[in-house]
Amino acid sequence: MHVADGFLPAPVCIGGYAATGLMTWYSLRQIDRETDPRQGVPKAALLAAAFFVASSIRVPVPPASVHLVLNGMLGAVLGYFAFPAILVGLFFQAVMFGHGGLTTLGVNAIIMGVPALISYWLFSLRHRFEKETRWQLGVFAFLAGAMAVGLSTVLFYAIVVTNIPAQWNVDAERIAVGLLVLSHVPLMAIEGAFTTLLALFLQQVKPSLLEG
């Protein structure tokens, strides 16, 4: 779900950077309101590294393959730290692996970072119950992990399809992008299950890590 350099027109890339700047400011402002903002930095650094490495883990979905995204997991565990962590991870992916690009860094950050924040808000809804159970925690963790990938896929599809160059075969490109989107459906279940297992494990060994 990385949009590569040279595909999107300049106004869209500039708009992506503007939106990313706004979301980064919003996230840092929310982090600054915490009692000790520095307390979450080591956890954010660790999961940013996991997000960076995840792009090298390929999941075969014939006739193509997809890679783990983990933005839902980052949102559930990191809270508002998730967006800056994803932005840093995307930057190093673009520089070191060539995944995405620097001109599209802002757009890619929105595609993956905004769903991460939404997954955090969704995961936080578990606190509305009078007494939290492991079953409730697992359900909300699964929804957070799966929803983030699904929403990122929808954003990717919308941005790419509406910006296909006129000189290309638009119909063929739409079909190709649509097939890519469908290949991420199994990944939603995989990431939901992974986020669930991690949340249940953290609840058992260190529940404070789930407070975002």
CATH number of 10-211: 1.10.1760.20
| Mean pLDDT computed over 70-95 | 93
| Top-confidence range, 48-57, 126-135, 157-166, 190-199 | 190-199
56-70: average pLDDT: 64
Among the residues of the chain, which ranges form H helices? 10-32, 41-54, 71-78, 82-92, 105-124, 134-161, 170-182, 185-205
Measured from the Cβ of residue 96, the count of other Cβ atoms closer than 10 Å reads 10
What gap in Å lies between CA 179 and CA 186, rounded to an integer?
Answer: 13
- Report the pLDDT value the prediction gives residue 63, as an integer from 0 to 100: 44
Within 13 Å of residue 22, how many CA atoms lie on the same side as its CB? 9
- pLDDT confidence band for 64 (50 / 70 / 90): very low
Distances 174 to 9, 30, 159, 177, 181 between C-alpha atoms, Å: 18, 38, 11, 5, 10
Q: Specify the range with the lowest mean pLDDT, choosing from 125-129, 171-175, 185-189.
A: 171-175
Report how far residue 79's alpha carbon sits from residue 210's, in angstroms, rounded to the nearest whole number.
9
The residue among 135 and 25 whose pLDDT is bigger is 25
Domains of the chain, residue spans: 10-211
pLDDT for 27 equals: 96
What is the separation, in whole angstroms, between the first and last Cα of the chain? Answer: 25
Candidate from 107-111, 163-167, 205-209 with smallest mean pLDDT: 163-167
| pLDDT score, position 65 | 52
Query: How large is the average pLDDT for residues 45-74?
Result: 76
Residue 184: what pLDDT? 77
C-alpha 75/C-alpha 86 separation (Å) is 10
